[in-house]
């Protein structure tokens, strides 16, 4: 793995431009250690930082992480509050991203978040807007179907106002009205042994490669990410077309 870490080009490894991660398994990680679930989320948020740094180091351009879904409000209030507090803590410490040349962006229905968090998000996005390294999209109160409904409403409004003709609506029209301004994810990772997308980037993942692992998120290491990326390199992405077989020597 060392060669890949230090010099992906020499190792002939293609690093995915955009990786999506469903940070799953925090609760089970805590349970295994007889700790409260909140301890799992603390460990999960620390690991997010480790993995984001690693992505930045190896040249990933975009990392989208699922931090809180539109369905997660159903969890006990103490757990929801705990996750919001982790978010506050992370946002207050700008060394987490500013000093590392990482651009921070948030996606999801942010208007219902506590006001202080919305303010912290605004500040973090502004403070990191000049960063040229990795862009992290953190999905908070995010639901993929909800995102599509938002886009549809915007399109409907534009049609109603006369700014858009129905005949001009294409897939790009929808893509351009989703939350993030970046290419679709090449690679989606879900640790913790679940094999579901759980409403994470359903439109954008139409041609994404998926990678699953039994490792629980707080234990998912940079080495695990490197292994996943090496696996990604063995996939033959055809986007619905036909691709010629690779030469034996390649």
Lay out the site mask for ligand FPP across 69-98 (x = CB under 6 A, - = otherwise): ---x----------x--xx--x--------
Is residue 67 within the footprint of ligand FPP (CB under 6 A)? yes
Distance between CA atoms of residues 154 and 148, nearest Å? 10
The residue (of 94 and 233) whose beta carbon lies closer to ligand FPP is 94
Q: Which of 15, 20, 26, 190 binds ligand FPP (CB under 6 A)?
A: 26
Could you tell me which residues come within 8 angstroms of residue 236 by beta carbon, excluding any fewer than 6 positions away? 243, 246
Phi and psi at 135, nearest 5°, equal -105, 125
Is residue 53 within the footprint of ligand FPP (CB under 6 A)? no
Is residue 45 within the footprint of ligand FPP (CB under 6 A)? yes
Distance between CA atoms of residues 53 and 222, nearest Å? 9
The residue (of 18 and 190) whose beta carbon lies closer to ligand FPP is 190
Tokens coding 57: 């180091």
Helix, strand, coil shares of the chain, percent, nearest 5, are: 45, 15, 40
Query: What DSSP string describes 7-34?
Result: -TTTTTPPPPSEEEEE---HHHHHHHTT
CB of 183 to ligand FPP, least distance (A): 22
The residue (of 25 and 144) whose beta carbon lies closer to ligand FPP is 25
- What are the catalytic residues? 24, 72
The residue (of 187 and 220) whose beta carbon lies closer to ligand FPP is 220
Please state the three-class secondary structure of 204-227 as a single string: CCCCCEEEECCCCHHHCCHHHHHH
Distance between CA atoms of residues 99 and 90, nearest Å? 13
Could you tell me which residues come within 8 angstroms of residue 20 by beta carbon, excluding any fewer than 6 positions away? 63, 64, 65, 66, 185, 187, 188, 189, 200, 201, 204, 205, 208
CB of 186 to ligand FPP, least distance (A): 22
Tokens coding 29: 């990680």
CB of 41 to ligand FPP, least distance (A): 5
CB of 202 to ligand FPP, least distance (A): 18
Is residue 25 within the footprint of ligand FPP (CB under 6 A)? yes
Is residue 120 within the footprint of ligand FPP (CB under 6 A)? no
Task: Determine the size of the site formed for ligand FPP (CB under 6 A).
Answer: 16
Lay out the site mask for ligand FPP across 163-202 (x = CB under 6 A, - = otherwise): ----------------------------------------
The residue (of 4 and 18) whose beta carbon lies closer to ligand FPP is 18
The residue (of 193 and 230) whose beta carbon lies closer to ligand FPP is 193
Could you tell me which residues come within 8 angstroms of residue 80 by beta carbon, excluding any fewer than 6 positions away? 72, 73
Residues that bind ligand FPP (CB under 6 A): 23-28, 41, 44-45, 48, 67, 72, 83, 86-87, 90
């Amino acid at each position: 793995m060392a060669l890949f870490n230090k010099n992906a080009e020499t190792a002939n490894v293609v690093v995915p431009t955009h990786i999506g991660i469903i940070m799953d398994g925090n609760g089970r990680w805590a349970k295994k250690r007889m700790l409260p679930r909140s301890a799992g989320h603390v460990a999960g948020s620390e690991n997010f930082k480790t993995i984001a740094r690693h992505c930045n180091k190896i040249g990933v351009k975009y990392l989208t992480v699922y931090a809180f879904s539109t369905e997660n409000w159903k969890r006990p209030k103490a757990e929801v509050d705990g996750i919001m507090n982790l978010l506050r803590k992370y946002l207050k410490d700008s060394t987490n991203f500013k000093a590392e040349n990482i651009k921070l962006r948030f996606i999801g229905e942010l208007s219902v978040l506590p006001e202080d968090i919305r303010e912290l998000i605004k500040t973090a996005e502004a403070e990191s807007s000049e960063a040229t390294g990795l862009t992290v999209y953190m999905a908070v109160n995010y639901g993929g179907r909800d995102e599509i409904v938002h886009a549809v409403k915007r399109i409907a409004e534009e049609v109603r106002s006369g700014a858009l003709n129905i005949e001009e609506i294409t897939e790009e029209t929808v893509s351009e009205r989703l939350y993030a301004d970046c290419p679709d994810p090449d690679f989606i990772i879900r640790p913790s042994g679940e094999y579901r997308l759980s409403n994470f980037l359903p439109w954008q993942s139409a041609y994404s490669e998926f990678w699953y692992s039994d490792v629980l998120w707080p234990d998912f290491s940079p080495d695990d990410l490197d292994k996943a990326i090496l696996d990604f390199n063995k996939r033959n992405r055809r986007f619905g077309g036909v691709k010629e077989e690779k030469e034996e020597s390649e």
